[in-house]
Structure 1
Amino acid sequence: MISSVLPQKWSEETTSALIDHLLENYHARHREHLPTLIKLARKVEQTHGDHPECPAGLTQYLISMEQELDSHMLKEEQILFPMLRHNGHARARGPISVMLMEHQEHDQSMKRLLTLTRFLKVPNNACLTWASLYEELGQFIDELSQHIQLENEVLFAGQTLDAQAVS
């Protein structure tokens, strides 16, 4: 969505190396980043709720995103990734199609975040917390976009081709 440049040539790496990278650099990061974003959003909404540019509903939206994203990542960690690590390529087509559908939903969630925050435009004279919230949200959106792109264009694309060749 935001970032379309993959940081390195992951298509040349093993499936296990790519999965390890996703777990360490995206799954773990999202799990530590979202609670911080929720805390910042709650503070901004409580302090500036009467400001016309306050992102009303952002805290609850982030809580919902956290639940959806955690559920998605657990499915990858407990079902899909072990399957791919153990060459279950043919069986992976169903779970991959579910993940691709959920990635589209995550893209819509990121667009909604941008709408709620007026495209991360910090109001004039906003407090440091508000500015920090939008900076952190921008980083989260970039990271989630890269995460989705890496899975869709590298991990899943290769597995889909492998699965089609096997069947």
Structure 2
Amino acid sequence: MSQEIVNQWRDKSNTELVQYVVERFHQRHRAQIPELKQLALKVEQVHDDHPQVPAGLAEHLDSMLHELESHMMKEEQILFPMLVRGIYPSGPISVMEEEHVQHDQELQHILAITNDLTPPEGACGTWQELYRGLRELVQDLNDHIELENTVLFVDSDTVPKHGEDFCCGSCQ
């Protein structure tokens, strides 16, 4: 995500940002991961003898969807309503940020088993479509995490202005 987009969202209300995150990212992840899982199943079954088949990808995506769904529900039902009211609970925010680290690790696993999303020479259309979709998922999830971590989860009233003392955040 570009710094320009992050800065654009810094000027928006939490209500607008929460709505954007749910519509642009949460709803998208809920649709894209099951689709990718189906493509992965097909590639794994049809090309199970190929040395570059992303073995276990469908199962990993299924697990990832369950983890993400749990994460997104906690945000939508607990954290986001608090943020919309101007409440920045450090405990729940740190839990979400830690889960974001886990989501990044899940993405790194995808990159590892897919040769950095590079299909083998002569890969079928389904295999290529799978990797295009995974590339989109990786970008979407990274953008989602960055927007939450750097804008939504930061109370602009407590961020030091230029020249003020910097706080590491542990005192909040």
Normalising by structure 2, we get a TM-score of: 0.88
Match for 1:155: what amino acid? L
The alpha-carbon deviation at position 87 of structure 1 amounts to 2.4
- State the 4+ residue runs in structure 1 displaced beyond 6 angstroms: none
Structure 1: tracts of 5 or more residues without a match:
none
Match for 2:75: what amino acid? E
The alpha-carbon deviation at position 85 of structure 1 amounts to 1.2
Could you tell me which of 112, 123, 136 is aligned with 2:133?
Answer: 136
The alpha-carbon deviation at position 86 of structure 1 amounts to 1.8
The alpha-carbon deviation at position 93 of structure 1 amounts to 1.1
Q: Which has the higher contact order (CA 8 A, sep 6+)?
A: 1
Match for 1:12: what amino acid? D
The alpha-carbon deviation at position 159 of structure 1 amounts to 6.2
Q: Is residue 54 of structure 1 aligned with residue 53 of structure 2? A: yes
Mapped partners of 1:67, 1:30: distance in 2 = 11
Mapped partners of 1:116, 1:5: distance in 2 = 27
> Residue in 2 aligned with 1:64?
63
Structure 2: tracts of 5 or more residues without a match:
160-168
Normalising by structure 1, we get a TM-score of: 0.90
Number of aligned residue pairs: 159
SS at match of 2:116: coil
Q: What is the percentage of aligned positions where both structures have the same residue? A: 45
The alpha-carbon deviation at position 5 of structure 1 amounts to 1.7
The alpha-carbon deviation at position 6 of structure 1 amounts to 5.0
> Residue in 2 aligned with 1:127?
124
Quickly say closer, same or farther: Cα 1:6–1:60, change in 2 above 3 A. farther
1:1-167 pair list within 5 angstroms:
4-5=1-2, 8=5, 9-89=8-88, 92-158=89-155, 161=158
Looking at CA atoms only, which structure, 1 or 2, has the larger radius of gyration?
Answer: 2
Name the one with the larger helix percent. 1
Let me know the Cα RMSD of the aligned residues.
Answer: 1.6
Mapped partners of 2:21, 2:3: distance in 1 = 12
Mapped partners of 1:107, 1:154: distance in 2 = 18
